[in-house]
Structure 1
Amino acid sequence: METLTLPLSREADAFRAAAVEPFWDRIHRFLKLERDAAGRGMSVGGMEHVLNSRHDAIRWDAPILTVDNAQPARRTALTGQGMTLVPSLFASRPFLIDSHVGWQGLPILVYNITPSPETAPAMWGSHEGESALRALLGRTRADILDTLRETRSTGQVADRLRISSPSASKHITVLRRAGFVTTARQQNSAVHSLTPLGEAILG
């Protein structure tokens, strides 16, 4: 992950020192997980899947990218030159920075991935290991999470854990609703991978 250093105002520098610097290692790790998840999504479903799965307020219906952030409507030309995706733990809503302002002349799409109060302890807190995760989720769901360190179809998950496909599907649905798993269509199969939260809870 490339680091870009820019001059900060006194207030912004004070915020960085208090809210970012002490936690930078964890922030950097979580942002890397999000980047890796986006990369896996790209290989599974292409740019359409990546953009439509990053945030509920972001919709890609080629050739139109809509960012619903309660700001006045405006158009930004996306002419195939690329776009920089920037996940943020501090943004309150997604927003788009025009190419003439953005880094290296590319438009920048910033989207918030701030954990909720309910999920933050699982994301940032210490983990007690595999036994604690199994106690929390149950053995089968914990094993499914571990299996999904690599993107797999429902049938592949069922085969690896020696359970039925309907049973695997039900457990994966629960994990997806909890925010640990994301699902995409690949030809005639549903394929599943971990979200950043799913990766974080595995440690």
Structure 2
Amino acid sequence: MLRLHFTAEDLLRVTFAAEPAPLMELGLAMAMLQRATVPEFSRWQRRARETLPREATALFGLVPPTARGPMFLDPLSKGLDDGLDLVRATPVSRIRAELDRVCPTHRPVTPWIRDLAVREREAWQTLEHAVRAAHSALINEPWSRIEAGFQAERAWRTRLLARDGIRTTLAQLAAGGRWEGTVLVFPRPEQFDAVLSGHGLVLLPSVLWSRPLVALYEDAPSILIYPAVTPLPLLEEAPADPLGVLLGRTRAAILDLLPREHNTSDIAKELGISKASASEHTKALRDARLVATQRDGKAVWHCCTPLGLELLRGAGTAG
């Protein structure tokens, strides 16, 4: 379980990030490459592993599959160059503290990591070259889709915030989210208690990650990274409608069918996709609280929830 302990000050200071952070997405992408196959990322994982430059693989020495690598490596920044400026400006004391936290708990202490800790010039050149190579391979080309998915996600969540309030909006950021008093709980294989510092929380959706993750700061707002409704592999290059940007073309088409109840076979036939694909997409829509599902014998029936209908109305596709 991930347990986020809020104070009243933290709840009053919840904000959304204004834009995606390239180095944050890069760190998440490097972690995703090391994880066991994640269904919605499986093709992306396979292709990215095959094409990742050898120079970029040095980052595997710092970033574990949990994505809980050194926090100085993925600051919130607008671009690659200003992000690298922030990385290079990290105080030595913080570099050492973060490397001590990550190694050897998650990663072995290699000679390269020891050189990073003392700011050895060649080691830091290797780090910069690795970041640039990985960014070029994983982030640069799909950046327009990453931005489109981020902005659509942010606009939708902001609308939910205005309608449902902060507690409901936060609990719905990921499947299974719930409140226990002032503690926000998300299901996760490992146990992690995150006590916020009273400086607030920045919500950062990611199209390259699949479960909630928190970066804690004692003297600044902490960051809650959560999975966007539609991951990068399902974001179309240039969807013709705003709902397609948010959900992906296939999921948007499925939702458009469901003001009236359809079963999984009907959906597959209507859209010309496999039944397995229809089932996978309806599960994602159900996890996002946009679709409700019930079983009747061997048939599984789906229809829009009130939230799904409101999203359709907002996109101008529901009567």
Q: TM-score range, shorter-chain basis?
A: 0.5 to 0.7
Aligned residue in 2 for 1:59 = 178
> Which residues in structure 2 correspond to 1:40-189 (within 5 Å)?
40-56=159-175, 58-71=177-190, 73-78=191-196, 81-100=199-218, 105-113=220-228, 115=230, 120=234, 123-125=235-237, 137=253, 141=256, 168=259, 170=261, 179=285, 182=289
Aligned residue in 2 for 1:12 = 131
Residue 38 of structure 1: how far off its partner (Å) = 0.9
Alpha-carbon distance in 1 for matches of 2:184, 2:230 = 25
Alpha-carbon distance in 2 for matches of 1:178, 1:68 = 16
Distance 1:95-1:58 versus aligned 2 partners, 3 A rule = farther
Unaligned runs of 5+ in 1: 145-167, 184-188
User: Deviation string for 1:76-135 (max 9, x for gaps)?
Assistant: 2236542111111222432111122xxx71121111237469x81xx3155578xxx8xx
User: Deviation string for 1:170-203 (max 9, x for gaps)?
Assistant: 47xx8976629855xxxxx9454339xx97xxxx
Give the total of aligned pairs: 155
Alpha-carbon distance in 2 for matches of 1:81, 1:98 = 10
Aligned residue in 1 for 2:13 = none
Aligned residue in 2 for 1:21 = 140
Distance 1:109-1:57 versus aligned 2 partners, 3 A rule = farther
TM-score by length of 1: 0.57
SS at match of 1:76: strand
SS at match of 1:84: strand
Higher relative contact order (CA 8 A, sep 6+): 2
Residue 64 of structure 1: how far off its partner (Å) = 0.4
Residue 58 of structure 1: how far off its partner (Å) = 3.7
TM-score by length of 2: 0.39
Residue 61 of structure 1: how far off its partner (Å) = 3.4
SS at match of 1:194: helix
SS at match of 1:38: helix
Alpha-carbon distance in 1 for matches of 2:157, 2:204 = 11
Of structures 1 and 2, the larger Rg is shown by 2
**Which residue identity does 1:179 align to in structure 2?**
L
